[in-house]
């Protein structure tokens, strides 16, 4: 069986290439494009399978556009589908819900099928764990991976060693790399010998563990991305986020002092958030050691407890999943402010955080800590420092010239569908797709 893997955000999809079996994985914001592609390929006679977060939560909806839907982690189901397809394609159909696989039995991911040169050479994807032991109400992690499981250390090291020669850094795509501290420490000790920088995601509690922070830095970690979500303890409690907001400042300092960039993710507009939450969040950021921040509204992804609650309360404003991206759209009705106040408040907060004055202040702070750069060879340190400055400047540019970026982002999202539509028309089908993605 000849296999090709295409990331439609990075590669051109050749729609007139003959295919027999098509697998599509999509998140909620991209599900509309996925459905149009699925309809296109089915019209050409291919067997189409859809999986991913959205299809797992809404399998009956997805089945209207595909022959089969895979719920949850797909390795076991996909192997069964391929076997059925090779023996009798007519057997492929319906909803597949297989148990999550034993990670120790999985082969290495086929990163050789990816056009890795189209990605940042500092973000080679590596996976050590799946799932998360926590149950935040807005998170869809447990829909895909109900239990927290770990790959054998040797499997992770093999992923790292299979990287192309041009790769200069890795990104652990795990939802929570520090869900099992003993395992994580063992992994960091093993990674130390590989001498390659990486970024990871973890809960804020990792900052209260000096030994794990030390091992992370020695292993090559340059940044820890953490879901702070809110500085309101009431909001954290409401969404089942087991965190203590009063420790956030000290936690960010601990990560910084250990030689890593504290990167934060924030959700604004929880039920306890009023219009003052934006100024309070900015004041905290100014007083903390957080060097990077992403701001979003709460997004009630289908299948999450948050989605069920907001739907029950009649507070979901739209089911147009194109808008479930959180940055420029408000899809639920807030309790303490209007949707417009929430959208404009987030945009103002981002503009203030990425103002030139604040960017300069943060870069001076980074420069004051040589530990942040000591994981890089001397020849790369100036380049990495320049990259950090350019990354911050990009956010400033994006916020100062929003129409240009909205146009560029819109073109990136629609180009797949425009090519899809043109291909349909060229194929002389009676009808072209009726919508476009955004």
pLDDT number for residue 367:
79
Record the tokens describing residue 400, joined without a space.
């100062």
- 30 three-state secondary structure: coil
CA 17 to chain centre: 30
pLDDT number for residue 51:
97
Q: Are strands 124-126 and 129-130 parallel, antiparallel or unpaired?
A: unpaired
DSSP 92: -
Q: Which residues of the chain have pLDDT under 70?
A: 373-438
Burial label, 328 (beta-carbon count in 10 A; 0-12, 13-18, 19+)? middle
Q: Which residues of 407-417 are buried (b: 16+ CB within 10 A; e: fewer)?
A: eeeeeebbebb
Q: Are strands 149-150 and 170-172 parallel, antiparallel or unpaired?
A: unpaired
For 1-101, CATH gives 3.40.50.280
pLDDT number for residue 109:
94
Record the tokens describing residue 146, joined without a space.
């109900």
pLDDT number for residue 379:
57
pLDDT number for residue 57:
95
For 106-348, CATH gives 3.20.20.70
CA distance 115 to 301: 29
In this structure, the chain runs to a length of 438
Record the tokens describing residue 358, joined without a space.
């604040």
The 3-class SS string of 37-87 reads HHHHHHHCCCEEEEECHHHHHCHHHHHCCCCEEECCCCHHHHHHHHHHHHH
Record the tokens describing residue 140, joined without a space.
């869809």
Q: 384 CB contacts (<8 Å, ≥6 apart)? A: 373, 376
pLDDT number for residue 356:
86
Q: Would you kindly state where each structural domain of the chain is located, as residue ranges?
A: 1-101, 106-348
């Amino acid at each position: 069986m000849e296999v090709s893997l295409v990331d439609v955000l990075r590669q051109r999809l050749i729609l007139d290439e003959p295919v027999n079996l098509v697998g599509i994985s999509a998140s909620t914001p991209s599900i509309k494009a996925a459905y149009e592609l699925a309809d296109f390929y089915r019209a050409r006679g291919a067997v189409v399978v859809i999986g991913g977060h959205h299809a797992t939560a809404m399998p009956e909806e997805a089945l209207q556009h595909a022959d089969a839907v895979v719920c949850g982690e797909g390795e076991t189901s996909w192997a069964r589908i391929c076997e059925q397809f090779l023996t009798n394609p007519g057997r492929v159909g319906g909803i597949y819900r297989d148990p999550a696989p034993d990670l120790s039995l999985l082969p290495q991911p086929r990163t050789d099928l990816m056009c890795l040169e189209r990605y940042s050479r500092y973000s080679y994807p590596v996976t050590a764990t799946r799932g998360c032991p926590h149950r935040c109400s807005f998170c869809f992690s447990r829909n895909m991976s109900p239990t927290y499981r770990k790959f054998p250390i040797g499997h992770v090291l093999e992923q790292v060693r299979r990287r192309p020669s041009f790769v200069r850094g890795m990104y652990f795509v795990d939802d929570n790399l520090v869900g099992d501290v003993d395992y994580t420490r063992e992994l960091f000790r093993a990674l130390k010998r590989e001498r390659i920088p990486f970024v990871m995601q973890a809960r804020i509690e990792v900052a209260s563990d000096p030994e794990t922070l030390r091992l992370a830095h020695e292993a090559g970690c340059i940044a820890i991305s953490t879901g702070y979500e809110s500085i309101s303890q009431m909001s954290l409690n409401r969404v089942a986020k087991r965190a203590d907001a009063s420790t956030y400042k000290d936690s960010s300092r601990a990560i910084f002092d250990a030689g890593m960039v504290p990167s934060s993710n924030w959700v604004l507009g929880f039920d306890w958030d009023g219009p003052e939450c934006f100024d309070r969040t900015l004041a905290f950021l100014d007083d903390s050691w957080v060097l990077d921040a992403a701001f979003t509204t709460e997004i009630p992804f289908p299948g999450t407890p948050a989605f069920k609650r907001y739907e029950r309360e009649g507070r979901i404003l739209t089911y147009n999943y194109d808008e479930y991206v959180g940055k420029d759209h408000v899809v639920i009705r807030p309790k303490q402010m209007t949707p417009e106040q929430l959208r404009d408040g987030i945009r103002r907060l981002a503009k203030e955080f990425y103002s030139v004055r604040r960017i300069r202040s943060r870069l001076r702070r980074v420069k004051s800590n040589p530990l942040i750069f000591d994981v890089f060879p001397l020849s790369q340190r100036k380049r990495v420092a320049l990259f950090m400055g350019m990354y911050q400047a990009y956010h400033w540019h994006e916020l100062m010239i929003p129409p240009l970026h909205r146009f560029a982002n819109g073109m990136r999202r629609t180009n797949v569908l425009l090519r899809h539509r043109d291909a349909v028309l060229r194929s002389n089908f009676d009808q072209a797709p009726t919508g476009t993605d955004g």
